[in-house]
Structure 1
Amino acid sequence: MLRHNQRFLTQLYILADLFCTLVVFLAAYWLKFESDLLDSVKSVPFSTYLLWGTIYSFATVLIGFYLRFYSPKRRSNFSFDVLKILQIQSTSFLGLLSLLYFSNESNISREFLLIFFILNIIFIGLYRFIVKNVLSSLRRKGYNKRFVLILGAGSVGRSFYRNLMNRPELGYEALGFLDDFHDEHPLEYRHMRPIIGKLDDLQTILKNHPIDEVIMALPLEAHSKYGQIIDACEKAGVKTLIIPDFFDLLPARPLLDNFAGIPLINVRDVPLDELSNRILKRWFDILFSLIAIVLTSPVMLAVTIGIKLTSPGPVLFKQERVGYNRKTFHMLKFRSMHVSSGKQSDTQWTVENDPRRTRFGAFIRKTSLDELPQFFNVLLGHMSVVGPRPERPFFVEQFRDEIPKYMIKHQIRPGITGWAQANGLRGDTSIQERIQHDLFYIENWTFIFDLKIIGKTIVKGLMNKNAY
């Protein structure tokens, strides 16, 4: 039977968020007005600050409900919490500033509000991180368990069971399987939970056992029983989840979509299809690229001089690449090779000790300095700071037939660096492995993931033995 502790946990989270916000408010007030660490003139009484702090606190809770921040998150990653915290706090902060403007509260310290806003993000994120890790640890030890019943003991049901057992931090335990076609597992799967009955036994088992969720992993032949099964689960107050029989054909994260009022399975969930995510990523790209161009301008000037002094020809090298939505663009690089025909450079890989390289070109390729002009590609919207690396049209036509799912990488903007490059997959490395990393990035994009890739690239990816 479905447990009724989620409402209690939601209320507990709300109280904890409000308490944390109150503590942060007091800390921010002390830091601004009482600590002598900052210059302060207190022209508004404490009670006024407390009033607006209370309004802000309750606004974060209401916006949190709207953004599903208090929905069950047992199966979600912490990055989900981080993104929601940023969204909630930013929206609440902008709302508070608007209210202050319309109420003519011009004497409220904006510096205090900024401290309050930043500390809220830090402390709520920190306590949520601690709570999530404590709960995961307790679940590994067998506490706070949820029980599932798997309908279907075929390959789909067994795959789900194996994956579930590999994630003990989720705190799920399988009671067993129901199946109309098997009485017991094949010999190699006898270590799994047993088959405890037929599908017609579902109602009795739900009545006699504490089942929280029923997982339907049935073949297409059992489609006629779906309605009966769902009715039995809903009558018992048990959640029902359906694994399509063709799930092995789907990518890691398909999406249940709605089209003309009909539910559909969107074969691939691309987080960057959402407008808010695209806007966030684009603004970050612009800001990061501007900062990078300013900071590296002395380096780019030195590289320009080095190219001019060591070989005749242009400083920049423009090459056609395939980017977002399979459209081509001209990617910029510092020229690292002797001037040659466009056809030669567009259809040949760079190899170790490539005779086409200049001596200075070998250095800037090894140190990735030849990639710096691509920040201008980012500003123009051709590329992103992070994304799959773009390829030349000649090789795209070749790989699209040879490598499964290769063309999916063009569903987002290409990047200066990517998950594959951050893991050392540059130059003479497996195209298949690169695509696997690119697909993982496309399906699992978060803003935090981008920051992780950038950090990993800076630490590990600038000098690379495969960068010929």
Structure 2
Amino acid sequence: MFRLFKHYVPHAVVWLALIEFIALLGSAEVAWHTYAHFAGFDAGKLSARAAPLATFAIANALAMMATGLYSSEALRSMRFATARLLAAISLGVIFLSVVGFLFPTATLWRVNSLYAMVIAIAALFVIRLILTQSAGADAFKRRILVLGAGKRAARLQALAEAPGSGLVVAGFVAMSASERTVPDAVPREDIANLSDHVVALGAGEVVLAMEERRGSLPLSDLLRVKTTGVHVNDIASFIERETGRVDLATTNPSALIFSDGFSAGQRISRVGKRLFDIVASLLVLVVGLPLILIAGMAVKADSRGPILYRQSRVGLYGEAYDVLKIRSMRTDAEAAGKAVWAAENDPRITRVGHIIRKARIDELPQLWCVLKGEMSIVGPRPERPSFVEELERELPYYAERHMVKPGLTGWAQINYPYGASVEDARAKLEYDLYYAKNYSPFLDLLILLQTVRVVLWPEGAR
């Protein structure tokens, strides 16, 4: 896998994105020559139209990322990929229209854009058809050998068998007689040379998943495996890399302490993130003000009570602050005075509330909190103080999620449906810890792009 600013991306996905970016550039170039031929003028030098071609390719590539075209489901389902491709191109048209209005010379002419869109849809469809159908889903999968045959090894087996998995387990090696959870594991004593066994299975990586490593770590074997060019990884780091979350079941304090993560406090990153928050919150507040006013009037007409409400939340370093949102529930939603988890089809939500929560419009006033510095655009979801007290007792490392500012959107929000229990909070904590550990501007960009997908297809909103 490629590691881009601490975030791992599968090789196959990177190559696919690169191929499709070149296809977008080629589509724009073919469209330019097609229009020149029909209009009867010379196409000119490539350098003279480099900016419009690049703008077209970049806009649509970002739209493809935003609509989830590089997700596991899009890689294995042609129907899903086609639907998202059409949505991505539509989103790209909107973005290019805005750029063309602000910078007319930076985009293709309207007729050129139309030709380019049609050619791009056809080219990208053919590329997906060849790579995901003809080559098969296995073309995007990596083969691993698991050292261990206990419960940890069984977790990797389940991970590989999950829908959309990018893994194939080439085999299991039982390192001790007590490891019997995986029945088809080969005993270590039956393997004459472990490195030869790895090569024979065609495994590109060995994952350590032994239940007990004290005194049983095969250092000489692992050294030989490493020298053959095969990567060796621990189960905790492997799961973090593959799933984009810190696995609480296999992670220990020393792994977090000695990792290269948790660098969000670096001065340059912190200053850059703050500048982005100020500019983005101001821009969205100005653009979204009419939407806030319309939503406010609808809330007022739909139910009694104030349009906006304040609620205490836990922010950076565990400090409390007041969050500001458009009211989406009845005023007696917590008549007993006790915080209550939101539930699926929650009866406390008003008719207008259902709409504004689905579209995340109720979150827009929180931009004022971002502008004041209490929140960030991207970060863990802020929770109620009473929930935090409970979750810190129930879940390890929960306090560590408060080492970064809470955000309007975040890694957990785009990867996990809306949580309404301690178990949901545990799953979301694993994503929040991954974000806090691996924060970078690149990861923020990925989250912002994927937020578009969550807003357009709000599967997890409540």
TM interval, short-chain normalised: 0.5 to 0.7
Q: TM-score, normalised by structure 1?
A: 0.56
Tell me the residue number matched to 1:265. 259
Aligned counterpart, 1:419: 413
The residue that corresponds to 1:349 in the other structure is 339
Cα shift readout 1:193-225 (whole Å, capped 9, x = no counterpart): 534645652244356554443334344235663
Number of residue equivalences: 383
**2:156 pairs with one of 153, 160, 163:** 160
Give the CA deviation at 1:117: 9.8
Q: TM-score, normalised by structure 2?
A: 0.56
Q: CA deviation at 1:23?
A: 3.5
* Structure 2: distance between partners of 1:331 and 1:393: 12
Cα deviation, residue 126, structure 1: 8.7
Which consecutive residues of structure 1, in runs of 5 or more, have no partner in the other structure?
1-5, 62-73, 94-107, 256-262, 353-358
Identity %: 17
Shift in CA distance, 114/199, structure 1 to aligned 2, threshold 3 Å = farther
Q: How far is 1:430 from its partner?
A: 2.6
Question: Counterparts of 1:312-327 in structure 2 under 5 Å?
Answer: 317-327=309-319
Q: How does 1:41-80 map to 2 (within 5 A)?
A: 46-48=43-45, 50-52=46-48
1:450 aligns with 2:451: yes
Letter aligned with residue 29 of structure 2:
F
Distance 1:363 1:337 in 2: 10
1:151 aligns with 2:147: yes
Q: Tell me the amino acid that sits aligned with residue 389 of structure 2.
A: E
Partner of 2:5: none
Q: Is residue 206–residue 232 contact of structure 2 (8 Å, CA) maintained in 1?
A: yes
Matched, 1:294 2:290: yes
Instruction: Determine the C-alpha separation between the residues in 1 that align with 2:278 and 2:414.
Output: 21
Are 1:286 and 1:378, in contact at CA under 8 Å, matched by a contact in 2? no
Q: What SS does structure 2 have at the residue aligned with 1:172? A: strand
Deviation at 1:412?
A: 4.0
- Determine whether 1:26 maps to 2:26: no
Q: What is the rounded CA distance, in whole Å, between the counterparts of 1:122 and 1:408 in structure 2? A: 48
SS at match of 1:220: coil
Q: Tell me the secondary structure at the aligned position of residue 149 of structure 1.
A: strand
Check conservation: 1:145, 1:173, Cα contact below 8 A: no
Pick which of 162-171 and 7-16 moved more. Answer: 7-16
C-alpha separation in 1, matches of 2:12 and 2:287: 47
Structure 1 CA distance for aligned equivalents of residues 186 and 366 of structure 2: 57
Partner of 1:217: 209
Amino acid at match of 2:27: V
Give the C-alpha shift of residue 154 in structure 1: 3.6
Instruction: Report the residue type matching 1:22 in the other structure.
Output: G
SS state at 1:112 partner = coil
1:322-401 correspondence to structure 2 within 5 Å: 322-333=314-325, 348-349=338-339, 373-383=365-375, 389-401=381-393
Taking the TM superposition and a 5 Å limit, the aligned residue runs for 1:155-194 are: 155-166=151-162, 170=166, 172-174=168-170, 176-182=171-177, 186=180, 189-190=182-183, 192-194=184-186
Q: Following TM superposition, by how much is the alpha carbon of 1:242 offset from its aligned partner in structure 2, in angstroms?
A: 1.6
Cα distance in 1, alignment partners of residues 274 and 114 from structure 2: 24
The change in CA–CA distance for 1:131 and 1:204 in structure 2 (over 3 A counts) is same
Q: 1:7 to 1:375 in 2, by over 3 A?
A: closer
Residue 203 of structure 1 contacts residue 232 of structure 1 at CA under 8 Å; is this kept in 2?
A: yes
The whole-number CA distance in structure 1 between the counterparts of 2:301 and 2:17 is: 59
Counterpart CA distance in 2 for 1:216 and 1:142 is: 23
Change (3 A) 1:387 1:213: closer
What whole-Å deviation, never above 9, does each CA across 1:8-27 have from its counterpart, x for those lacking one?
99999978765652332121
Instruction: Tell me if structure 2 keeps the 8 A contact 1:18–1:58.
Output: no
Q: Which is bigger in relative contact order (C-alpha 8 A, separation at least 6)?
A: 2
Asked if structure 2 preserves the Cα contact closer than 8 Å seen for 1:387 and 1:438, the reply is no
What secondary structure does 1:214 align onto? strand
Q: 1:35-64 CA distances to partner (integer Å, 9 max, x unpaired)?
A: 67xxxx97xx5332x235579999999xxx
Q: 1:52 to 1:162 in 2, by over 3 A?
A: same
Relative to structure 1, the CA distance from residue 443 to residue 346 in structure 2 (aligned partners, 3 Å threshold; closer, same or farther) is farther
Q: Pick closer, same or farther for the CA change 1:151–1:10 going to 2, 3 Å.
A: same
- Pair 331,254 (structure 1): closer, same or farther in 2 beyond 3 Å: closer
Letter matched to residue 447 of structure 1 = L
Residue 297 to residue 142, structure 1, CA distance change in 2 (3 Å): closer
Q: In 2, are the aligned partners of 1:178 and 1:195 still within 8 Å (CA)?
A: yes
CA distance in 2, matches of 1:168, 1:384: 32
| Deviation by residue 1:221-264 (Cα, 9 ceiling, x = unmatched) | 356632x234422443x412222589899996359xxxxxxx94
CA contact (8 A) 1:147 1:212 kept: yes
Q: Any stretches of 5+ residues in structure 2 without a counterpart?
A: 1-9, 58-69, 76-83, 97-103, 248-256, 343-347, 436-445
- CA gap of 1:177–1:387, structure 2 versus 1, over 3 A, is closer
The answer to whether the 8 Å contact 1:136/1:171 transfers is no
Work out which of the two has the higher radius of gyration on C-alpha atoms and give 1 or 2. 1
Query: 1:279 & 1:121 partners in 2: Cα distance?
Result: 35
Instruction: Give the RMSD, CA atoms, in angstroms.
Output: 6.2
- 1: CA distance, partners of 2:167 / 2:239: 25
The answer to whether 1:433 aligns with 2:444 is: no
Distance (whole Å) between structure 1 residues aligned to residue 138 and residue 163 of structure 2 = 13
Q: State the partner residue of 1:96.
A: none
Determine the C-alpha separation between the residues in 1 that align with 2:341 and 2:175: 59
